[in-house]
């Protein structure tokens, strides 16, 4: 770009100088395009080197971050700082206490499908299958003892 520090442009255009000035502007444009391409490639090369170094550092120090980066996974978080809930009297109330918000969210997601968590031993379905998981009397429990012997 030092070439263009010494280039002078005319103040008024006429039929005699218009082509010469057009060539100067065209050459300036070509130089600017070339410089922008060079700067783009320098930036791209620096970014590639930076991310490659980051992957190498993560490979050694933080494998989870490396895998997340390679798979393009991003942790998405919803931050709740206030929540409107209905109490037993169907009255809406606003809560801002973080422990109350956490309890209300847990309660909601445990009951959103119309059911609540219960142990499998208490369910009707488990009572239908429980006998399938009992030990069988006709199978000798010692038959696999010698498999790992040298």
Residues paired with residue 95 on neighbouring β-strands, in sequence order? 83
If you average pLDDT over every residue of the chain, what do you get?
85
pLDDT above 80: residue 134: yes
pTM over 0.75? The answer is no
Residue closest to 53 by CA, chosen among 72, 74, 69:
69
Specify the pLDDT at position 57: 87
Average pLDDT estimate for 19-33: 90
* Angstrom distance (rounded) from CA 135 to CA 37: 74
What pLDDT does 41 receive? Answer: 96
| Structural contact between residues 82 and 76, judged by C-beta atoms closer than 8 angstroms | no
Give, rounded to a whole angstrom, the gap between the first and last alpha carbons of the chain.
79
Taking Cα atoms as reference points, which of 67, 70, 92, 69 lies closest to residue 82? 92
Handedness of CA 86, 92, 93, 94 (dihedral sign): positive
pLDDT score at 63: 87
How do residues 38-84 score in pLDDT, each as one tens digit? 999 999 999 999 988 988 888 889 888 888 888 888 888 888 899 99
- Within 4-116, residue ranges assigned H as helices are 18-61, 63-70, 98-111
φ, ψ of residue 92 to 5 degrees: the values are: -80, 140
């Amino acid at each position: 770009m030092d070439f263009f520090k010494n280039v002078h442009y005319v103040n008024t255009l006429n039929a005699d100088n218009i082509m010469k000035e057009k060539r100067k502007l065209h050459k300036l444009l070509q130089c600017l395009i070339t410089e922008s391409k060079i700067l783009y490639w320098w930036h791209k090369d620096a970014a590639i080197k930076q991310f490659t170094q980051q992957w190498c550092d993560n490979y050694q120090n933080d494998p989870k971050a490396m895998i997340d980066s390679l798979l393009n996974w991003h942790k998405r978080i919803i931050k709740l700082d206030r929540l409107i809930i209905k109490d037993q009297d169907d009255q809406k109330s606003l809560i801002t206490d973080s422990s109350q918000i956490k309890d209300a969210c847990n309660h909601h997601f445990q009951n959103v499908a119309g059911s609540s968590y219960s142990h499998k031993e208490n369910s009707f379905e488990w009572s239908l299958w429980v006998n399938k998981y009992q030990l069988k009397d006709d199978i000798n429990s010692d038959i696999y003892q010698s498999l790992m012997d040298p």
